[in-house]
Amino acid sequence: MNLDPSFIWTAGLSLLQALPETLWITFVSVAAGLVIGTAVALCRMYHIPVLSQLSAGYVAFVRGTPMLMHLLLIYFGLPVLIDGISSAMGWSFTSASIPLIGFVWIAFSITAGAYMSEVVRAGIQAVDKGQVEAAQSIGMTTIQTLRRIILPQALSVSLPNLSNSVIGMLHGSTLAYTISVVEINAQAQIVAADNWKYFEAYIAAAILFWVLTILIERISGWLEYRLNAYQRGGAL
C-alpha cells in the first residue's frame, strides 16, 4: 500500500459535493441553538419559577452526555413519540415523512442550545451592571434594556465563545453519518470504499475541516474587531 497524493485531490473534489450538507447542519443547529440558548439563559438569569429549574436540568443533561447520544435518542425516540401522538389524535402525519436530516437538525439544535445558553449567559454577565442601572434610570423597560443595552454589548463580548461553539458544531456534524446522512465524513467513507484508498480520503476530509475551522476563526476575529469599534474610541 502506497500513499497516492493525487487521489487526495480527487477525493477532496468529491467531498465538496457533501460540503453544503455539513454547512447546513452547522448553520441550522447554531441558529436554532442561539434561540434556544438565549431563552434558556434568560429563564435562568431572571429566575423564572418552573422554567429555570427545567432549563437547569436540560443544560446539565446535555452537557453531561455525548452529542452522539442526543442524536441517537432523537433518531430512535422521536418517531415513537410522534407516531404515538398522531395515532392518538387521529392525524395522518407520521414520522416517516420527516427527512433524515430533520432528525440531525433537531438533535444538534438541542445540543447547541445547551452550550449556547452558557455562551449567552457569560456574555450577558460580562455587561457592566451600571449600564443596566443607567438604562433603567432613564426609564427603559426590561425588554428595552435587554434589546438596546445588554444584547449588543453581550454579543461582542461573547464572539470568541460563539465561534468556538460554531466550530464545535461543525466538528460535531460528522456524527450525522451514523444515521446515514451524507455529509463530508460519510462522503469520505464512500469515496474511500469505492477506491480502497482510506488514508487519502481522510486526509482530504481533514484538510477540508481544517480550512473551514481556520476560516471561521478568521471571520470571527474580523467581526470582533468590527463590533468592538465603539470601544476603541475616536474614528473607526
Partner 1 sequence: MSRRFDIQYVFEFIPKLLAYLNITLLIVGSSIVLGLLIGLIVALPRLYNTPVLKRLSQLYVSFFRGTPILIQLFLVYYGLPEVLGWIHIDVSRLAVLYFVIATYALNSGAFISEMIRASVAAVNRGQIEAAHSIGMSSYQTFTRVIAPQALGISIPLFGNLVIGNLKDTSLAFTLGVMEMTGRSQTLGTATQHFIETYIALSLIYFVISFGLEKGFQWMERYVNRFDGHRSEKTLRASWRRPLRAAPLLGKGGKSG
| 53 vs 141 by CB, closer to partner 1 | 53
10, 54, 155, 168: which one contacts partner 1 (CB under 8 A)? 168
Closest alpha carbon to 45 in 115, 109, 125, 136: 125
Q: How far is the CB of 19 from partner 1 (least distance, A)?
A: 14
205 binds partner 1 (CB under 8 A): yes
- Per the structure block, which three cell numbers stand in for 185? 465524513
| 147 vs 194 by CB, closer to partner 1 | 194
202 binds partner 1 (CB under 8 A): yes
Buried b (16+ CB within 10 A) or exposed e, 160-172: ebbbbbbbbbbeb
Q: How far is the CB of 132 from partner 1 (least distance, A)?
A: 19
122, 151, 155, 182: which one contacts partner 1 (CB under 8 A)? 122
CB 118 within 8 A of CB 158: no
The three-class DSSP label of residue 192 is helix
Burial class (CB in 10 A: 0-12, 13-18, 19+), 197: buried
Q: How far is the CB of 234 from partner 1 (least distance, A)?
A: 26
- What character string, x for contact with partner 1 (CB under 8 A) and - otherwise, covers 34-63? ----------x-----------x--xxx-x
